[in-house]
Amino acid sequence: MTPLLVIQILLFPFVASTMSSYWANATRDITLQETASQIASTIQQLYLSLNRIEVTTGTVTQASNFPTEIAAHAYTARGSLRASLAPNSGKILMINLTLQGLGNTVTAQTSMGHNTLWSTQSIFNSDSPNASIKVQKFANGTLLFSFG
């Protein structure tokens, strides 16, 4: 009976710590995924709003209203476009968020039109006071998106 009690005393803290760590990591992933989806949705809404004949050329900047930290850590976002598999269709925007210091990474995607471009050098830093989404509309109807 005593060896079993000793094993339980030694094993319980390890199991409790492992479960707690797993739960905290899963919670960070869920929050990060929600933020990635919110950023992707905002970009898609900007596309739908600006991809109209009535909207002339120019630049629009959407200031960040996203959380600056997730679980007390800043995060970065990067975007990339890829062609859709369906012929004569639009493009797919992939948004990758990474939690700084922890490395948690998630991806969200959204549909965009064929006239969409993405500035691959742009990075969204959540803790930057200038964090934003920028869209430049050209005379030919092309929309160039980037993070500010």
The encoded tokens of residue 145 equal 């998106």
Q: Residue type at 142?
A: T
Structure confidence at residue 88 as a pLDDT band (50, 70, 90): confident
Q: Where are the domains of the chain?
A: 2-147
What's the confidence (pLDDT) of residue 84?
79
User: Average pLDDT for residues 72-88, to the nearest whole number?
Assistant: 90
10 Å CB burial of residue 106 (0-12, 13-18, 19+) is buried
Q: Which helix (H) or strand (E) segment is 134 a member of? A: strand 132-137
What's the confidence (pLDDT) of residue 68?
95
pTM score: 0.85
User: Average pLDDT for residues 46-65, to the nearest whole number?
Assistant: 95
What's the confidence (pLDDT) of residue 111?
94
Residue 69 and residue 126 in contact, taking contact as beta carbons nearer than 8 Å:
yes
Residue 143 and residue 136 in contact, taking contact as beta carbons nearer than 8 Å:
yes
Structure confidence at residue 16 as a pLDDT band (50, 70, 90): low
What's the confidence (pLDDT) of residue 94?
97
On the question of pLDDT at 63 being above 80, the answer is: yes
